[in-house]
Amino acid sequence: MTRYTGVLVDAHHHFWEPAAGRQPWLRPEVRIPFRYGDYEAIKRDYLPPDLVRDAASAGLRLIGSVTMETEWDDDDPLGEVTHIEGVRERHGLPSAAIGRVQLDRPNAPGLIEAMAARPIVRGIRHKPGQTASPADHGPTLLSDPAWRAGYAELVRHGLDFELQTAWWHLDEAADLVRAFPDTAVTINHTALPADRSPAAIEGWAAALGRIAVLPQVWLKISGIGLPGRPWTVAANREIVERAVAAFGVPRIMFASNFPVDSLCGTYAEIMGGFAELTAGWSADEQYAAFAGNAIRRYRLTLPEDPDDAAAS
C-alpha cells in the first residue's frame, strides 16, 4: 500500500480574478443559489501560484492543469480565453482551457470556430440544466434541436464536450452521445451525487454504469463535496470506488475543482484523500488517474522539465 506522491495534472479547476468583474456571479454584491451554500470565501483571486502551492500541500507536484470556464460575461465569451492566455503567459499555466459557448444560440457556430482557433482551447462546456430531483425528471437542453445543432459543430473543429448535469440526466446524455458518436464527452464532478441516501447512490451508480458502456465518455472524479459537511475519505470512499468500478482507471481523472471545492475542504484533504483512497493501486494506475489520463484526454504537451509548468 503506497500513497501516491507523484506528479499531478489537475484536470478541472478555475483561475479567476474577480476584481475584473467579468464573472457576474463573483461580483461583491451578487448572491446566487449555490450548491455548496455561501460562496463569499471564493470571491478572491485564484491563479497558478495558488494552485501550485495547494498541490504541494497535498504532497503532489503539479506539472500541468486544465482550467474550466467560469461563466464569464455572456456578451464576451472569447474574452475569457484571451484572459486565460494572459494568465498562461505570466505564469506558465494552465496547460489547456475549456471555453463556454451557449450552443443553442444562433452565433454558436461562429464562436465554436473562433474557440477552436485558439490553441489553448480543447473543448466547450455549456451546462444543459437539470431538474431538481430524479422525481422531477424531464428533458434538458441535451434534447433541444437548436442546442444539438450547435453541439454538432464541435466535431467539425476537433473540440470535446464537458458535461455537467445531475446523474438522472445521464440517459438523456447517452442518447446525445449515440447521436454524435465522434464527439468525446467528459462528465464533470462525478455526475453530482449530492444525495447520499442508499437509494440515490444506487440510482447514481446505475446511471454511471449505463453511460460508461460508451467508450468516448470519460469521468472526472471531482466536485463531490457536500454543503455543511467536511470532506473526508470515509464520506467519499463509496463514491470514488463505485465511479472507478463503472468507468475503469483508464477513463477517470482526479481533479480538485479549486477554488470552488475549497468551500468543502482543503486541497490536501481532497486530493490527498484521493491519494489515500488509491493507495492500493499499482503505480501505473495511480499515475494514470492523477496525470497520465488527463495528458491523453486533453492532448497536452508538457515542458521537458515539469518544473517549468509550475513557474510563477
> Over the stretch 145-162, which tens digit does the pLDDT of each residue have?
999 999 999 999 999 999
C-alpha cell at 184: 468525446
The pLDDT value recorded for residue 125 is 99
Ordered by start, the domain boundaries in the chain are 47-310
Tell me the CATH number of domain 47-310, given options 3.10.620.30, 1.10.287.3510, 3.20.20.140, 3.90.1150.10: 3.20.20.140
> Over the stretch 254-273, which tens digit does the pLDDT of each residue have?
999 999 999 999 999 999 99
Residues 6 or more apart whose Cβ sits within 8 Å of residue 306: 7, 61, 63, 64
The pLDDT value recorded for residue 28 is 94
Cα 122 to Cα 246: distance, rounded to the nearest angstrom? 25
Q: Is the dihedral of CA 133, 135, 136, 138 positive or negative?
A: positive
Task: Indicate if the pLDDT at residue 310 is higher than 50.
Answer: no
Grade residue 137 by pLDDT with cuts at 50, 70 and 90. confident
> Over the stretch 162-217, which tens digit does the pLDDT of each residue have?
999 999 999 999 999 999 999 999 999 999 999 999 999 999 999 999 999 999 99
Q: Which amino acid is at 82?
A: T
Grade residue 306 by pLDDT with cuts at 50, 70 and 90. very low
In this structure, what are the phi and psi dihedrals at residue 275, rounded to the nearest 5 degrees? -65, -40
The pLDDT value recorded for residue 136 is 86
Instruction: Give the number of other CB atoms < 10 A from CB of residue 76.
Output: 12
The interaxial angle of helices 267-277 and 48-57, nearest 10 deg, is: 50
The pLDDT value recorded for residue 309 is 41
> Over the stretch 28-87, which tens digit does the pLDDT of each residue have?
999 999 999 999 999 999 999 999 999 999 999 999 999 999 999 999 999 999 999 999
Where residue 182 falls (left for φ over 0; alpha for ψ -120 to 50; beta otherwise) is alpha
In this structure, what are the phi and psi dihedrals at residue 254, rounded to the nearest 5 degrees? -85, 140
Grade residue 138 by pLDDT with cuts at 50, 70 and 90. confident
The pLDDT value recorded for residue 147 is 99
Grade residue 304 by pLDDT with cuts at 50, 70 and 90. low
> Over the stretch 8-39, which tens digit does the pLDDT of each residue have?
999 999 999 999 889 999 999 999 999 999 99
Task: Indicate if the pLDDT at residue 312 is higher than 50.
Answer: no
> Over the stretch 86-101, which tens digit does the pLDDT of each residue have?
999 999 999 999 999 9
Mapping DSSP to helix (H, G, I), strand (E, B) and coil, where does residue 276 land?
A: helix
Residues 6 or more apart whose Cβ sits within 8 Å of residue 239: 190, 193, 201, 221, 224
Q: What is the DSSP letter of 290?
A: I
* Share above pLDDT 70 across residues of the chain, in percent, rounded to a whole number: 97
pTM score, whole prediction: 0.95
* Share above pLDDT 90 across residues of the chain, in percent, rounded to a whole number: 94
C-alpha cell at 186: 467528459
